[in-house]
Amino acid sequence: MQYHQLDATVRSDRTVRRRDFLRCVPAAALAAGSLSWPEQMALQASELKQDKRNCILLWMAGGPSQFETFSPLAGHENGGGTKAIRTAVPGIHISEHLPRIAEKMDDIAIIRSMSSKEGSHSRASSLLRTGYLPTAVLKYPTFGAVAAKELAQREDALPSFVRIGAGRKSGPGGGILGTEYNPFLHGDPKQPPANTQPTTGTNRYRKRLSLLSRLQEPFAQTGGESQVETHRKLYDTASQMILSPQMGAFDLTQEPENIHAAYGESNFASGCLLARRLIEAGVTFVEVHCQGWDTHQDNFTKTPELASQIDQPIAQLITDLKQRGMLDSTLIVWMGEFGRTPRVNPRGGRDHFPRAFSAALAGGGIRGGQVIGKVNEKGTEVADRPVSVPDLFQTYCRSLQIDGNHEYMSSIGRSIKIVEEGKPITELF
């Protein structure tokens, strides 16, 4: 087969299996560097260790209403009139606002019995992303930082932890693991990352780095060695990234129109597509934010609109990863910091409710097509199989093959476990 014939075949079917691609691509094409970006990513992904695990956290900032998403209370006054629809799995019903996700329920497991005691946005956001409540003494690492430390391949040029669609004060970072495990913040997935294009040619850029190193040497020799070393490490990491051809992973214009259409047009949709590309390029943990779920008023207008922004992209992300043979090694987590109150307030909204809320998982060895736990008929209490935040984190660890009992040492000499207490949700596996 001539390479131009192969190229046409591959371009006509973007879901071609990596192994099939590798069996038929001629060595001459590889040597000539004539592969398109999707073909390069397929090749690179195939060369990654088969047991390498990744995670995509779909973070619903503000606390999504469980009753208008994964846990409708159809027929009860607390349900607010939201209808429940059938899914691909008989007996499992979710909100009418998520019809595309309903079609993918074979791959999704719903947890309807999440429970915590923290109803403050900042504290609950920290709890649900680090496994710990924040303290003034210790900065606990977010789970993305933990995954990056435990799973990332150090030779990768791209950041091992990328946070998409969030502001600069977007939540916890590397904490006691250090600044090198802070997330790389990328606000607008439709645009290339800011300040990642060298302002000069590569050779001149490297000469400037060399000059900077020489200028720092006197300070290092007079007591500033640790500061200089930290500064150099940051510059080396950033330079490796921006000079790498892997930065093409951030360029969504390299995706064909049919793929863009399959994900949808919202910023969250672009974030999900970018998450797939980054995982494919070797990034370990990607966090995609969808803002605006703090629906204290007009819940029944705002939540359906928000659900429409996430429904198609999440369904397509699952499809895309599955078709590329990457879903088994990639854990997808959908959640926010808490749920919303069963009782509708006088402003037509729902307030903070950590006592009983929902999360959803897919991929990463998770057995889809099931529901864990349930609430009572009013939605006010967990009625069966309560799941704590440590339980959820132990589940992440089992999925990603991380030892949840592993301990890190803080700067004050205190050992901190990745997860304190908790047990994995064994039914999910």
Question: Does the structural domain 53-192+243-428 have CATH classification 3.30.70.20?
Answer: no
What mean pLDDT do residues 114-126 have? 97
CA distance 31 to 29: 5
DSSP structure string for 360-382: EEESTT---SEEE-EE-TTSSSE
- Name the pTM for this structure: 0.84
Domain locations along the chain: 1-47, 53-192+243-428, 199-237
| pLDDT tier at 336, thresholds 50, 70, 90 | very high
3-class state of residue 45 by DSSP: helix
Indicate if the pLDDT at residue 9 is higher than 70: no
CA dist 257 → 9, 170, 238, 251, 264 (Å): 17, 31, 31, 13, 10
Q: What pLDDT is attached to residue 24?
A: 44
Q: What pLDDT is attached to residue 188?
A: 94
Tens digit of each residue's pLDDT (9 = 90 or more) over 234-272: 666 666 666 677 888 999 999 999 999 999 999 999 999
Residue 67 · residue 304 · CB < 8 Å? no
Q: Picking from 97-111, 155-169, 267-281, which range would have the lowest pLDDT averaged per residue? A: 155-169
What mean pLDDT do residues 131-139 have? 93
16 or 345, greater pLDDT: 345
Q: What pLDDT is attached to residue 112?
A: 98
What mean pLDDT do residues 228-234 have? 68
**Residue 57 structure tokens:** 């956290």
Tens digit of each residue's pLDDT (9 = 90 or more) over 260-318: 999 999 999 999 999 999 999 999 999 999 999 999 999 999 999 999 999 999 999 99
Indicate if the pLDDT at residue 48 is higher than 70: no
Q: What pLDDT is attached to residue 6?
A: 34
CA distance 11 to 324: 14
Q: Picking from 34-38, 50-54, 277-281, 384-388, which range would have the lowest pLDDT averaged per residue? A: 34-38
Q: What pLDDT is attached to residue 157?
A: 83
Interior angle at CA 103, CA 391 and CA 265, nearest 5 = 95
CB half-sphere exposure, 169, CA atoms < 13 A = 1
Q: Rounded to the nearest 5°, which phi and psi values hold at 291?
A: -90, 160
| pLDDT tier at 169, thresholds 50, 70, 90 | confident
Q: What pLDDT is attached to residue 25?
A: 46
Per-residue b or e along 106-132, where b marks 16 or more CB atoms closer than 10 Å to that residue's CB: ebbbbbbbbbbebbebeebbbbbbbbb
The crossing angle, in degrees rounded to 10, of helices 267-280 and 299-323 is: 30
Residue 176 · residue 410 · CB < 8 Å? yes
Per-residue three-class SS string for 230-265: HHHHHHHHHHHHHCCHHHHHHCHHHCCHHHHHHHCC
101 or 200, greater pLDDT: 101
CA distance 165 to 57: 12
Max CA pair span of the chain: 74
Q: What pLDDT is attached to residue 218?
A: 77
Q: What pLDDT is attached to residue 364?
A: 98
Q: Picking from 79-88, 132-141, 152-161, 183-192, which range would have the lowest pLDDT averaged per residue? A: 152-161
Q: Picking from 24-38, 251-265, 408-422, which range would have the lowest pLDDT averaged per residue? A: 24-38
What is the share, in percent, of the chain residues with pLDDT greater than 70?
A: 81
Q: What pLDDT is attached to residue 20?
A: 45
What mean pLDDT do residues 338-347 have? 97
With 0-12 / 13-18 / 19 or more C-beta atoms within 10 angstroms meaning exposed / middle / buried, residue 417 is: middle
CA distance 9 to 7: 5
What is the share, in percent, of the chain residues with pLDDT greater than 90?
A: 69
DSSP element (H, E) containing 10: helix 3-12
| pLDDT tier at 2, thresholds 50, 70, 90 | very low
Overall residue count recorded for the chain in this entry? 429
